[in-house]
C-alpha cells in the first residue's frame, strides 16, 4: 500500500467519554497542521458504512474542547461485525479518498478496527476513550479522570444524607468488568470500601467488610460497588445484607449514565490534546494498528492486540490502603 497519507477519517465509537471532543479537535488540527485533510465520520463505524461523512476545517472543532459527549455521535455498530459491513466501509473509504483512520473508543472499537485493518490493509491508529480505564498499556483512558471526579462529587452529597440517617450506602458505579472506577473513586471520596470484580473470585468481599467491622464510632458507611455480574452489583449486595445482616439500615444508589457526561477535567483535556497529536505523529511515522497510550506521563504505542486482549492489572495493594484509611 502507498504510504503517503493525504486524507484521514476520524470517528468516535462505543460508549462516549468526556474528552472525546478535545481529541477530535486535537487530531483535526494536528492533521491540518501537517497538510493532511480530515473527514469526520458520524456515528462510529456505521457512518463509514452509510457514508455519513463531512470534511472538517480547523473551525469545525472550535469551542468543543470543554464539551462532554462527542460531536461526531457514537454507536455500537453490529453491521461492522459482519464481513459484508466492513466491505461496504472500505468502499466508502475509497470513494471518499480516505487513506487512514483515527478511531477513538474502547475495547469494542479496537477489536473492529484491528480486523478491518488486517482485512483491507488500512492504516488505523486508536485513541483510548472510555470512562472504564480498562485498556491494557495505558495508565489512563480519556474520560476516566472526569468520571472519577463526577462520582466523587456525587458521593460527597450522598455522604451528607448517609450520616444524617446513620445508614450504610452501596453506591454502584460503571466500569463494565473492571474495578478502576470503584476503587479509585472510593479512595477519592474517603469511602469505607470498594467491592470490585477483580477480587470477587479471591475473597468474599462483603464478609471481609463486615468481619473487619465498619468502625464502631462511625454512624454511617459508604461502599463503592463496581457494576458487574461478578460483584452482584449494589442491589445484589443490599439483598444479601438484608438476609445476612438485617441490623444494618441499607440504601442503594446507582449512579448510572451521569458518570459519562460533563465537561472534561483539565487532565482529560490535556491527555486528549497529547493523544491527538501523537496519533498523527504515529501515522506519519508509518505506525499501524496501534493504540496511543500514556505510561508514567510518556506517550507510548500499544498494538491493538495487546490493548484489547491483555487484562489490565489493577493494583490490589490499593484495597489495603483503602482499608487502612477507613479505620
Ligand atoms: O464502556 C462504558 C460504559 O459506560 C460501561 O461502564 C457500561 O457498562 C456501559 O458503557 C453502558 O453502556 P450503555 O450506555 O450502552 O448502557
User: Is 230 a member of any domain?
Assistant: yes
Residue 216: predicted pLDDT: 54
- Which residue lies with its CA nearest to atom 1 of ligand 1? 15
Measured CA to CA, the distance from residue 151 to residue 168 in angstroms comes to: 17
User: Is 315 a member of any domain?
Assistant: no
Domain that holds residue 127: 7-143+264-309
The total number of structural domains in the chain stands at: 2
Give residue 296's pLDDT band: very low, low, confident or very high (50, 70, 90). Answer: very high
pLDDT > 90 in the chain, percent: 89
User: Is 206 a member of any domain?
Assistant: yes
With a 6 Å cutoff on the Cβ, whether 174 touches ligand 1 is yes
For residues 47-61, give the mean pLDDT.
98
* Residues 110 and 180 occupy one common structural domain: no
With a 6 Å cutoff on the Cβ, whether 264 touches ligand 1 is no
CATH number for the domain spanning 50: value is 3.40.50.450
* Residues 116 and 162 occupy one common structural domain: no
* Residues 244 and 114 occupy one common structural domain: no
Q: Find the 324 Cα to ligand 1 centroid distance in Å.
A: 31
Q: How many CB atoms lie within 10 A of CB 76?
A: 16
Which ligand 1 atom is nearest residue 175's CA? 6
Burial class (CB in 10 A: 0-12, 13-18, 19+), 37: middle
In three-state secondary structure terms, 249 is coil
Q: Which residues of 179-196 are buried (b: 16+ CB within 10 A; e: fewer)?
A: bbbbbbbbbbbebbbbbb
- Which residue lies with its CA nearest to atom 14 of ligand 1? 15
* Residues 199 and 136 occupy one common structural domain: no
pLDDT in tens, 186-243: 999 999 999 999 998 888 999 888 887 665 556 779 999 999 999 899 999 999 999 9
User: DSSP class of residue 79?
Assistant: G
pLDDT in tens, 70-129: 999 999 999 999 999 999 999 999 999 999 999 999 999 999 999 999 999 999 999 999
* Residues 77 and 149 occupy one common structural domain: no
Closest C-alpha to 158, from 239, 224, 226 = 224
- Which residue lies with its CA nearest to atom 13 of ligand 1? 15
* Residues 17 and 87 occupy one common structural domain: yes
User: Is 129 a member of any domain?
Assistant: yes
Residue 211: predicted pLDDT: 80
Mutate to test the pocket of ligand 1, among 132, 133, 185 (most ligand atoms within 8 A of CB): 132
Burial class (CB in 10 A: 0-12, 13-18, 19+), 139: middle
pLDDT at 280 over 80: yes
**What crossing angle do the helices spanning 233-244 and 205-212 adopt, rounded to 10°?**
50
Active-site choice (16, 99, 107, 132): 132
Burial class (CB in 10 A: 0-12, 13-18, 19+), 199: buried
Contact 162, 278 (CB under 8 A): no
Contact 51, 90 (CB under 8 A): no
Mutate to test the pocket of ligand 1, among 111, 176, 225 (most ligand atoms within 8 A of CB): 176
The verdict on whether 132 is a catalytic residue reads yes
Q: Find the 13 Cα to ligand 1 centroid distance in Å.
A: 12
Residue 42: predicted pLDDT: 98
* Residues 246 and 100 occupy one common structural domain: no
* Residues 216 and 87 occupy one common structural domain: no
Residue 175: predicted pLDDT: 97
* Residues 90 and 154 occupy one common structural domain: no
CATH number for the domain spanning 184: value is 3.40.50.460
Bridge partners (DSSP) of residue 291 are 126, 302
User: What pTM was computed for the model?
Assistant: 0.96
* Residues 131 and 69 occupy one common structural domain: yes
Which ligand 1 atom is nearest residue 107's CA? 1
- Which residue lies with its CA nearest to atom 8 of ligand 1? 176
* Residues 14 and 130 occupy one common structural domain: yes
* Residues 22 and 73 occupy one common structural domain: yes
C-alpha distances in angstroms, 191 versus 41, 103, 276, 302?
42, 36, 35, 34
**Domain end marker among 224, 240, 260:** 260
User: Is 170 a member of any domain?
Assistant: yes
Which ligand 1 atom is nearest residue 134's CA? 1
Which ligand 1 atom is nearest residue 174's CA? 6
**Which H or E element spans position 272?**
helix 266-284
User: Is 90 a member of any domain?
Assistant: yes
User: Is 21 a member of any domain?
Assistant: yes
Amino acid at each position: 500500500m502507498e504510504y503517503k497519507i493525504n486524507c484521514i477519517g476520524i470517528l468516535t465509537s462505543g460508549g462516549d467519554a468526556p474528552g472525546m471532543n478535545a481529541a477530535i479537535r486535537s487530531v483535526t488540527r494536528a492533521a491540518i497542521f501537517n497538510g493532511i485533510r480530515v473527514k469526520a465520520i458520524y456515528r462510529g463505524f456505521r457512518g463509514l458504512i452509510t457514508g455519513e461523512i463531512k470534511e472538517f476545517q480547523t473551525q469545525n472543532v472550535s469551542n468543543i474542547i470543554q464539551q462532554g459527549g462527542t460531536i461526531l455521535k457514537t454507536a455500537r455498530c453490529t453491521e461492522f461485525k459482519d464481513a459484508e459491513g466492513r466491505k461496504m466501509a472500505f468502499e466508502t473509504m475509497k470513494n471518499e479518498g480516505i487513506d487512514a483512520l483515527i478511531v477513538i473508543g474502547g475495547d469494542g472499537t479496537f477489536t473492529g478496527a484491528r480486523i478491518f485493518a488486517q482485512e483491507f490493509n488500512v492504516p488505523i491508529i486508536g485513541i483510548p476513550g472510555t470512562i472504564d480505564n480498562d485498556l491494557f498499556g495505558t495508565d489512563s483512558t480519556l474520560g476516566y479522570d472526569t468520571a472519577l471526579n463526577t462520582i466523587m462529587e456525587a458521593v460527597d452529597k450522598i455522604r451528607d444524607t448517609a450520616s444524617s440517617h446513620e445508614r450504610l450506602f452501596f453506591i454502584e458505579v460503571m466500569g463494565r468488568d473492571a474495578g478502576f472506577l470503584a476503587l479509585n473513586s472510593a479512595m477519592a471520596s474517603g469511602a469505607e470500601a470498594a467491592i470490585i470484580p477483580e477480587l470477587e473470585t479471591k475473597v468474599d468481599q462483603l464478609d471481609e467488610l463486615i468481619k473487619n467491622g465498619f468502625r464502631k464510632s462511625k454512624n454511617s458507611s459508604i461502599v463503592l460497588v463496581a457494576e458487574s455480574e461478578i460483584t452482584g452489583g449494589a442491589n445484589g449486595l443490599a439483598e444479601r445484607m438484608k438476609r445476612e445482616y438485617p441490623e444494618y439500615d441499607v440504601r442503594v444508589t446507582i449512579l448510572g449514565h451521569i458518570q459519562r457526561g460533563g465537561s472534561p477535567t483539565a487532565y482529560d483535556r490535556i491527555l486528549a490534546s497529547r493523544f491527538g497529536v501523537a496519533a498523527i505523529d504515529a501515522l506519519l511515522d508509518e505506525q499501524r494498528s496501534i493504540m496511543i497510550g500514556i505510561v508514567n506521563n510518556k506517550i507510548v504505542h500499544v498494538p491493538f492486540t495487546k490493548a484489547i486482549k491483555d487484562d489490565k492489572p489493577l493494583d490490589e495493594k490499593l484495597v489495603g490502603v483503602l482499608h487502612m484509611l477507613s479505620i
